[in-house]
Structure 1
Amino acid sequence: MHPDDTSRSTRRAVRKVWDDFSARGMASGAYTEAVRAPWAVRVLMGGAGWLGALFFQLFLVGSVFLAARDNGWAMALCGAAMVALAYVLYRRRLGGIALEQFALAISLSGQGMVILGAAKGVAFGRALESAGFWAGIAAFQALLFAVVPNRLHRLLCALTAWGALAVTAQRLIGPSALDGWLAYPWPLVGLVPLACVLLIAFTNNEAQLCTADRLDWAEPAADATLLFALGGALMLTGADRPWLLATGGAAPIGMHWHAGAVLAFLLAVFAAAEARRLELPNAAGLPAVIVALALGGLMAGAPAVSVGVLALGLALRRASLPWLGLGVATLLAGFTWYYSALSWTLLAKSATLAGAGVLVLLARVVLLRRGGTKELR
């Protein structure tokens, strides 16, 4: 991890390791700690980069884009040139926050021009209805993820690729009884649990990835996967609301139940794996698995709650504050969205939420009494 991204305690630990290595003759020279610029300076430099990118794009609009706006493939070629420029700036590592933000803005604009130009070149309406077009967008984002070494750029590319995959899956499903945008949450029934499986795999293999020096691409991919899983779970949790509004109060389509059942199973699997890793006795490990399964089953109608709980577990496993914050925010939003659902009575929702709280409190009592381990305390 770069020194700029570490806390004071971590920097002190790094300094101590350096001093120990120097005392053993394994390192030479004085320890130099990078000085991080104040946040106000970083914000101003980032804004300067985006402002420079804005003027550069205004120049393109006046000189190239207006002439090529009716030619989709020419627009796509211009966008590809902008992406190539951003790639060169990133690869040469000329440094500076402003230049990195300039490259990011140019790349995002270029990607938009490539996609829009390709859609216009094929036939805009037909392209949007084609699964191949959206699969091409996912492949394009995957290519950029692989070749551009910037972390934020990789995060955005991976997140866009996930979204394109969801639309591709929806296009492959084909016409159904659902009309238009009402059908889009269906692919999330499979993609959200898949994203959770990948997150569990990443967390369990993070040490090996670090040893193999692969965290520079694995970490932004995992962050994007987490954002997609949390956002998709929130969409599934509230999927019955637009359906009920559009159909005048018909029965809910139940897609959140399908995802919730799979996520309950994944919670139990994660709890079992953690109990084994921590070497908990059966008196503590088995109740943990049962509680995870019961909680996931109780909240099967609110997949966002299950994914939020899983995100909390993964965050504690990784000691990651950003993941912890996202998990807490998703839990709050999931409970709120679930409580405002139109397909449940207030009595049923209140009983479910109260039952979930009682279950968690009882689980704590049982685990502390039967586990007797410091880890549980």
Structure 2
Amino acid sequence: MSNVLQTEQRLWQQLAARGEVQGEPPAHPHTPWAVRCLMGAAGWLGALFFQFFLVGTVFVAARENGVAMAVTGLAMIALAALLYWRGGGIAAGQFALAVSLSGQGMAVFGLTEALGFTRVAESAGFWAALALFEAALAWLVPNRLHRLLCGLGAWIGLAGAVHLLMAGSKPEDWLLLTWSLGWLVPLGAALAAGFTLAEARLCAHGRHAVLEPLADATLLFTLAAALVVTGMSHPLAWLDGPDAARIPLAHWAAGGLVTVMLAGFALAECRRLALGQAMQGAVLGGLVAFGALMAAAPAVVAGVLALGLALRRASMPWQGLGVASIAIGFIWYYSALHWTLLAKSATLAAAGVLLLAGRHWLLHRAQMEAA
């Protein structure tokens, strides 16, 4: 909520306490989308000219000095944070966003230049530090879009650190991403489900505004990583030895763990809705069976979980992400090469039959309870 809206609500509450007004405060008129687009474009245009000036005065002079570039980037981030804290219109917010993103890129690039690009890029500690840096920015800078982008940056840094730790002496082996991302997918799913279940308490404690964009970033990264794990395949892994042959098992590990998260969320929802034991057993049994059939396509299982979380939160963006993940996950799973065409067709057909049977049973159960 902006500072202007907070001030208006506080003034309305003071007037209501004096008995001078009654009812709810009048709705705040929204700026038309065309005006918002123009103001946002003005902010980015101003940031572009500002950065041209900065490149012409500082970057060219310090192009061989990584420390100076990093310090300049940190100064740009501080300027953007100051603009966010002071508040302002759409143009000021977009100007601050562009300056902050450019400052982050300059700070990271300058640091890698100062320490040696190749050595730093292959260091898990650097990626972990990048994740902490982005997480700190997401926590300190009070802007929703900035927090969302920094949250994504934190997850990317964490993914790089996990991959390098697992790859060891073979950082160029990108096939191991199926394992590094495969472990992060259930972690992200668990965090998104935990945020959804605790959302009411977070609102009561005043933490929702900070954590909601981070939850958006977590769900977005989780679904994207699940799609990568689903689409990557290694059909000739057995030619490279037993270690490489274990790579396709990452699909099963990620899909199985996300199925556990899906079942846990469904159980919590059944208890919240006070459903009977028979209904709880049927829902859990159907979801576990569906997850077992689609375990090799973790993007589909993660999309189903995202759809459930979206319905719980009444969130259209989360619902759109869930539907897109399910659709793309089905396509990528069917076109991947780690299973035969017959096996994939059989699992997809069985999953479809299971869903139709579950729908029929739920409708019949609802009609019986209504009667």
- TM-score, structure 2 as length reference: 0.90
Residue correspondence of structure 1 range 187-206 to structure 2 within 5 A: 187-206=180-199
Give the equivalent residue in structure 1 for 2:111. Answer: 118
- Aligned mates of 1:106, 1:52 — CA distance in 2: 10
Q: Give the C-alpha shift of residue 352 in structure 1.
A: 1.2
Percent identity reads 56
Report if aligned partners of 1:200, 1:314 keep a CA contact under 8 Å in 2. yes
Q: Call closer, same or farther: CA 1:374–1:307 in 2, change over 3 Å.
A: farther
Aligned to 2:84, what secondary structure does the other structure show?
A: helix
- Aligned mates of 1:246, 1:51 — CA distance in 2: 50
What's the RMSD between the two structures over aligned residues? 2.9
- Aligned mates of 2:63, 2:156 — CA distance in 1: 26
Q: Give the C-alpha shift of residue 96 in structure 1.
A: 1.1
Report if aligned partners of 1:284, 1:371 keep a CA contact under 8 Å in 2. no
- Aligned mates of 1:177, 1:165 — CA distance in 2: 18
157, 161, 164: which one aligns with 1:168:
161
Q: Deviations over 1:250-280 (max 9, x none)?
A: 9563211111111122222121111111111
Report if aligned partners of 1:138, 1:160 keep a CA contact under 8 Å in 2. yes
Give the equivalent residue in structure 2 for 1:98. Answer: 91
Q: Call closer, same or farther: CA 1:184–1:26 in 2, change over 3 Å.
A: farther
Residue correspondence of structure 1 range 307-346 to structure 2 within 5 A: 307-346=302-341
Q: Give the C-alpha shift of residue 30 in structure 1.
A: 8.3
- Aligned mates of 1:143, 1:270 — CA distance in 2: 29
Letter in structure 2 aligned against 1:303: P
Letter in structure 1 aligned against 2:35: V
- Aligned mates of 2:324, 2:171 — CA distance in 1: 31
Letter in structure 1 aligned against 2:84: Y
Q: Give the C-alpha shift of residue 28 in structure 1.
A: 5.2
Aligned to 1:68, what secondary structure does the other structure show?
A: coil
Letter in structure 2 aligned against 1:91: W
Q: Give the C-alpha shift of residue 153 in structure 1.
A: 0.3
Q: Does residue 1:223 correspond to 2:216, yes or no?
A: yes
- Aligned mates of 1:180, 1:75 — CA distance in 2: 31
Give the equivalent residue in structure 1 for 2:36. Answer: 42
Give the equivalent residue in structure 1 for 2:52. Answer: 58
Give the equivalent residue in structure 2 for 1:238. Answer: 231
- Aligned mates of 1:65, 1:374 — CA distance in 2: 71
Q: Give the C-alpha shift of residue 237 in structure 1.
A: 0.4
Report if aligned partners of 2:202, 2:208 keep a CA contact under 8 Å in 1. yes
Q: Give the C-alpha shift of residue 25 in structure 1.
A: 5.1
Aligned to 1:300, what secondary structure does the other structure show?
A: coil
Letter in structure 1 aligned against 2:111: A
Q: Give the C-alpha shift of residue 37 in structure 1.
A: 1.5
Give the equivalent residue in structure 2 for 1:359. Answer: 354
Structure 1 residue ranges without an equivalent (≥5): 6-14
Moved more, 119-128 or 186-195: 186-195
Aligned to 1:285, what secondary structure does the other structure show?
A: helix
Structure 2 residue ranges without an equivalent (≥5): none
- Aligned mates of 1:71, 1:178 — CA distance in 2: 28
Q: Give the C-alpha shift of residue 97 in structure 1.
A: 0.7
- Aligned mates of 1:253, 1:179 — CA distance in 2: 18
- Aligned mates of 2:310, 2:180 — CA distance in 1: 26
Report if aligned partners of 2:65, 2:114 keep a CA contact under 8 Å in 1. yes
Q: Give the C-alpha shift of residue 81 in structure 1.
A: 0.8
Aligned to 1:159, what secondary structure does the other structure show?
A: helix
Q: Give the C-alpha shift of residue 143 in structure 1.
A: 1.3
301, 304, 308: which one aligns with 2:299:
304
Q: Call closer, same or farther: CA 1:127–1:179 in 2, change over 3 Å.
A: closer
Report if aligned partners of 1:295, 1:359 keep a CA contact under 8 Å in 2. yes
Q: Deviations over 1:136-155 (max 9, x none)?
A: 11111111112100010001
Q: Give the C-alpha shift of residue 247 in structure 1.
A: 8.8
Would you say how many aligned residue pairs link Structure 1 and Structure 2? 360
Give the equivalent residue in structure 2 for 1:208. Answer: 201
Q: Call closer, same or farther: CA 1:179–1:29 in 2, change over 3 Å.
A: closer
Q: Give the C-alpha shift of residue 45 in structure 1.
A: 1.0
Aligned to 1:224, what secondary structure does the other structure show?
A: helix
- TM-score, structure 1 as length reference: 0.88
Give the equivalent residue in structure 2 for 1:264. Answer: 259
Q: Give the C-alpha shift of residue 236 in structure 1.
A: 0.7
Report if aligned partners of 1:288, 1:367 keep a CA contact under 8 Å in 2. no
